[in-house]
């Protein structure tokens, strides 16, 4: 196989923002662009300057940044059929963006030319050629996205080929074949790319832009390289309209680690997980834990047989070493866990637990009993570490509950209820008695606990609750059912999960809240703060 240098073109800031619930401010886009540049992405598509003021502002602001590697691209379309290039507002906006790269798209599929544009096939060819020729004199680098190329090729191959031939002749430096509807399967896509390469000649740079509607965007992108593609477009985490775009978080390691190709981002693979999670954090979205390579569960092991094997040799159940992409191996605690899992977690927590220690069997028994009741520690490893320390006699009591009371009162139909919590907590020989209000009873309780403890433990001011989930467990029907509460907390460096279980949602929340605070105090002590 020929080893190729592949260009990575990221369109998260444009195509990605067309995804449902994925919205970025100008400042968000600037921060993400800096991170993508640090990763080594070759091109960053910033937006469509002719479509909205936000993108115009982005292109203005990004000129104040000195990117180390990436080149910024503006995106737009061919000029309108009623205009000439010099009179077209879209092309004028692209030139005004002053980006080193411009990418425009044009129609390939004859059905779009006739039914969407309502022009002749020949007039569409003129739009492509005229737009690119006009831009060629005004930008450094010019790319052409052949929209709906694969559907267009299957409907009318000669016309589809002619559209990209005109684009190349007009000055496009790379012809990007787009699977815009995302329905082309890998076998037919590779065959079409090879045919295009034969008909345009090997000197033509080809790119690929795949959507994921048939769940094969990554496969299509990787396999297109075998047919001669050297330029791949996609988004971080595969975010995009409908089912998303080709996921660069899978494509980049696939190219480098699986296929042996090179790219600038491949030289910075250890940053991949960090950048992937940073982008979802900026967009205020949960990160997909099941995502290959960069997901929290990508190298997580739950079954006892798996855990025992990876402890001896990670290759038994890991296709790559997680640190290559900046991820980590995780051993999960569940009712499937055996002694090997708990021993592995003890090592991870820095606990001295021997395989012959009677505490080990006790922990296995406790774990299975607690999970039979409904506890779940897979997302609450902080609670499990505290459980292990209690069993081993190494747990420190930072405070004791004397009592708490929560009042949730609604006085008018058209006004929200008011929640107030009162707590009494003993720290050493001193009792703190405080009250606080909040947005609901759990928030009020959280505020009251912190208020009582922060004078004793100022480091709690660094922590915040970032996620709260309640799961009603099967068993007792109706409102008497047990509930499991999972809480995720964070400080300036880390995140950690805790769990509580009870018939009473406030009691379950208390358990999880208190575990989260105790873990923070343990962590601060361990870190020497």
Is the per-residue pLDDT at 58 higher than 70? Answer: yes
Residue with the larger pLDDT of the pair 308 and 437:
437
483-490 and 141-147: which strand pairing? unpaired
The answer to whether 378 and 333 are in contact (CB under 8 A) is yes
Residue 478: its pLDDT value, please?
57
pLDDT value at position 343? 81
Instruction: Flag the least confident range among 24-38, 165-179, 360-374, 471-485.
Output: 471-485
**Greater confidence, 151 or 302?**
151
pLDDT in tens, 270-290: 999 999 998 998 888 888 999
393-426-459 Cα angle (round to 5): 80
CA distances from 67 to 7, 64, 94, 341, 490 (A): 17, 9, 20, 45, 31
Give per-residue pLDDT as tens, 87-108: 999 999 999 999 999 999 999 9
Buried b (16+ CB within 10 A) or exposed e, 73-96: bbbbbbbbeeeebeebebbbbbbe
State the pLDDT confidence band at 348, using cuts at 50, 70 and 90. confident
Mean pLDDT of 126-144: 97
* CA–CA separation, 283 and 312 (whole Å): 39
Q: What is the mean pLDDT of residues 127-147?
A: 97
Q: Tell me: pLDDT of 359 over 70.
A: yes
Question: What DSSP line would sit under 343-369, residue for residue?
Answer: HHHHHHHT----TT-HHHHHHHHHHHH
Higher pLDDT, 326 or 372: 326
Q: Name the least confident of 222-226, 343-347, 398-402.
A: 343-347
User: Of 529 and 439, which is predicted with more confidence?
Assistant: 439
Q: Up-side HSE of residue 341: CA atoms within 13 Å toward CB?
A: 26
In this prediction the pTM is 0.75
Report whether pLDDT(477) > 70: no
Angle of helix 505-526 relative to helix 381-392, nearest 10 degrees? 70
CA distances from 54 to 15, 136, 242, 409, 462 (A): 14, 25, 22, 44, 34
For all residues of the chain together, what is the average pLDDT? Answer: 91
Backbone angles phi, psi at 205, to 5 degrees: -75, 125
Cβ atoms of 168 and 175 within 8 Å: the answer is yes
Find the radius of gyration of the CA atoms of the chain: 28
pLDDT of residue 412: 84
Angle CA(156)–CA(229)–CA(255) in degrees, nearest 5? 135
| Planar angle of CA 34, 172, 147, nearest 5 degrees | 80
- Measure the CA–CA gap between 320 and 492, rounded to whole angstroms: 30
Domains of the chain: 7-282 (3.20.20.70), 300-373 (no CATH), 400-526 (3.30.160.270)
pLDDT tens per residue across span 292-324: 999 988 998 876 677 778 877 888 889 999 999
């Amino acid at each position: 196989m020929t080893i190729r240098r592949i260009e990575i073109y990221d369109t998260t800031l444009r195509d990605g923002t067309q995804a449902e619930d994925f919205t970025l401010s100008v400042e968000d886009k600037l921060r993400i662009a800096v991170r993508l540049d640090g990763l080594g992405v070759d091109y960053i598509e910033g937006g469509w300057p002719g479509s909205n003021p936000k993108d115009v502002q982005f292109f203005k602001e990004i000129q104040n940044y000195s990117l180390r590697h990436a080149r910024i691209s503006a995106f737009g379309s061919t000029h309108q059929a009623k205009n000439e290039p010099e009179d077209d507002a879209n092309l004028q906006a692209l030139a005004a963006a002053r980006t080193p790269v411009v990418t425009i798209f044009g129609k390939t599929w004859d059905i779009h030319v006739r039914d969407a544009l309502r022009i002749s096939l020949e007039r569409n060819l003129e739009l492509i050629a005229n737009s690119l020729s006009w831009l060629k004199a005004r930008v450094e680098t010019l790319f052409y996205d052949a929209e709906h190329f694969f559907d267009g090729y299957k409907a009318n191959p000669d016309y589809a080929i002619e559209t990209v031939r005109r684009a190349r002749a007009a000055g496009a430096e790379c012809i990007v074949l787009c699977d815009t509807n995302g329905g082309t399967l890998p076998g037919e896509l590779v065959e079409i790319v090879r045919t295009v390469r034969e008909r345009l000649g090997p000197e033509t740079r080809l790119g690929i832009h795949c959507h994921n509607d048939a769940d094969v965007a990554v496969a299509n992108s990787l396999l297109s390289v075998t047919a001669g593609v050297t330029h791949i477009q996609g988004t971080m985490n595969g975010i995009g309209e409908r089912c998303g775009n080709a996921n660069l978080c899978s494509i980049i390691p696939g190219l480098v680690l699986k296929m042996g190709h090179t790219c600038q981002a491949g030289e910075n693979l250890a940053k991949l997980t960090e950048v992937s999670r940073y982008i979802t954090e900026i967009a205020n979205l949960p990160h997909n834990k099941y995502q290959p390579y960069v997901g929290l569960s990508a190298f997580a092991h739950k079954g006892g047989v798996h855990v025992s094997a990876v402890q001896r040799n990670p290759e038994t159940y890991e296709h790559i070493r997680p640190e290559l992409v900046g991820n980590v191996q995780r051993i999960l605690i569940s009712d499937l866990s055996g002694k090997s899992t708990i021993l592995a977690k003890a090592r991870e927590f820095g606990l001295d637990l021997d395989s012959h220690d009677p505490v080990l069997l006790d922990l296995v028994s406790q774990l299975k009993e607690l999970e039979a009741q409904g506890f779940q520690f897979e997302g609450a490893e902080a609670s499990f570490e505290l459980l292990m320390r209690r069993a081993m006699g190494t747990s420190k009591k930072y405070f004791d509950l004397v009592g708490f009371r929560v009042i949730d009162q609604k006085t008018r139909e058209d006004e929200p209820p008011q929640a107030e919590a009162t707590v009494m907590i003993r720290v050493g020989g001193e009792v703190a008695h405080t009250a606080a209000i909040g947005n609901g009873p759990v928030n009020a309780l959280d505020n009251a606990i912190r208020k009582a403890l922060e004078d004793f433990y100022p480091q709690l001011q660094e922590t915040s609750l970032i996620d709260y989930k309640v799961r009603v467990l099967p068993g007792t029907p109706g409102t008497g059912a047990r509930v499991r509460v999972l809480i995720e907390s964070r400080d300036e460096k880390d995140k950690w999960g805790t769990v509580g279980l009870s018939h009473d949602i406030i009691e379950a929340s208390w358990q999880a809240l208190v575990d989260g605070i105790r873990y923070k105090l343990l962590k601060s002590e361990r870190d020497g703060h």
